[in-house]
Amino acid sequence: MDLFRHAIPMVKIFLCLYSEKQCRRELKFWFLFVIIDNPDALKGTWDYWMIFNLLSQANSLPEGINQFPLKTKLVKSSWGKENYGGPCLPDKKRYYVFKLCVLDIFLELLPRVTKQQIEHFIKEYIIEKTELIGVYACSWRKE
């Protein structure tokens, strides 16, 4: 049974009348899947960074992070690396999509898994998802 979902009535155990039980109730951990990509890159969608099995308690990732919590996995980007590789100077205005999915499952996936395989697999386990689009263009280049 799902105990808590966005904008859905809360179950009774979270109400003040049940506060003693509330303290004893175990809450489920959720896992995050993060993707940063550029869907309008010259050679098709370019993936800059993909992370999965990041615990939902992580509310930020420090700049230059190179050690992640245990069981967090990184997927090879279009750069062929697992670490973050930022956008290079674009030839025109480009859109960079930061995607965050909250999952109710820990992903046990094989090495060399692709973004497409992960996106297909997680569809039924997404609790919530959001996107933020960043725009960048070199000021010295004309569009």
- List pLDDT tens digits, range 111-131: 788 889 999 999 999 988 999
Query: Residue 3 above 60 pLDDT?
Result: no
Q: Domain coordinates of the chain in residue numbers?
A: 26-136
Mean pLDDT for all residues in the chain: 76
**What is the model's pLDDT at position 99?**
92
Q: What are phi and psi of 29, to 5 degrees?
A: -80, 140
CATH number of the 26-136 domain: 3.90.280.10
3-class DSSP assignment, residue 15: coil
Six-digit token pair at 12? 């009774």
| Bridge pairing between strands 46-55 and 73-75 | antiparallel
Q: What are phi and psi of 93, to 5 degrees?
A: -60, 130
